[in-house]
Amino acid sequence: MSGNVTKIDEMTLHGTKDGQISISTLEQPYGPKSETVVSIGISLQADSAEPDWKVHIPASNIDAVISALQKAQKQI
């Protein structure tokens, strides 16, 4: 990854002893002119150097992903 990383938030991963969810933005993650993404990382150990899982959501998809998450929240 080549761009700036801005940490947005971290929270405890429910159901784990010390896992975390981290949310960051990454500018130009795939090189010059690539779209900014939101990175959501899941770490089972809080002190991990890298998340166990992560997903990159392009900025242009954020609203649709938030809407889908809100729908999912209503169903659980």
**Which tokens belong to 48?**
């991990």
What does the pLDDT average to over 11-34?
Answer: 94
CA separation for the pair 40, 57 (Å, rounded): 8
pLDDT confidence bin for 2, thresholds 50/70/90:
low
Whether pLDDT at 6 is above 60:
yes
- pTM value surpassing 0.75: yes
Whether pLDDT at 1 is above 80:
no
Helix H or strand E encompassing 64: helix 62-75
DSSP state of 48: -
